[in-house]
Amino acid sequence: MKITESLLESLCELARLHLEGEERSALLADLERIVTFVEKIRELDLTGVEPLRFPGRPSGYVRPDEPDPSPPSPLLLQNAPRSDGLYIRVPKFGVKEG
C-alpha cells in the first residue's frame, strides 16, 4: 500500500490536523515506514500460532472476595480532616454557598 498525497490529505482531515511543509513530509515518511512494517508482519507464516488475547498477564484479574475486619473507628476518624462523633464531616456539594 502506498501512502499518496490524496490519502494523507484524507487522513489529516479525519484527524482534524492541519500540517504543512516539514511536518507533512515527516508524517508521510512515518506512515510509509509503518505500512512497510505491517506488510512485513503480514508475510509471516503464523500457521499453528494461537492468537494473543492478552499481552502478558491479564489485567482484569479479580481476586476472590473475602471479608476483612474493618479498622477501628477511632483510627479511621483520626485520619479524617474533620469529624463529628463517629462521623466524618465533608463539605456540602451541589449547593452554592454565599
Q: 23: domain CATH number?
A: 1.10.20
In a domain, 47, yes or no: no
pLDDT in tens, the chain (98 residues): 889 999 999 999 999 999 999 999 999 999 999 999 999 999 999 899 888 877 776 666 777 888 989 888 888 888 888 989 888 998 888 777 65
**DSSP conformational letter for 49:** P
Q: Which amino acid type is present at position 47?
A: T
Whether the predicted model's global pTM rises above the 0.75 cut: no
In a domain, 21, yes or no: yes
Cell numbers at 57, concatenated: 498477564
Number of domains in the chain: 1
Q: Which amino acid type is present at position 62?
A: V
Q: Which amino acid type is present at position 86?
A: L
E-strand spans in 2-98?
83-84, 87-88
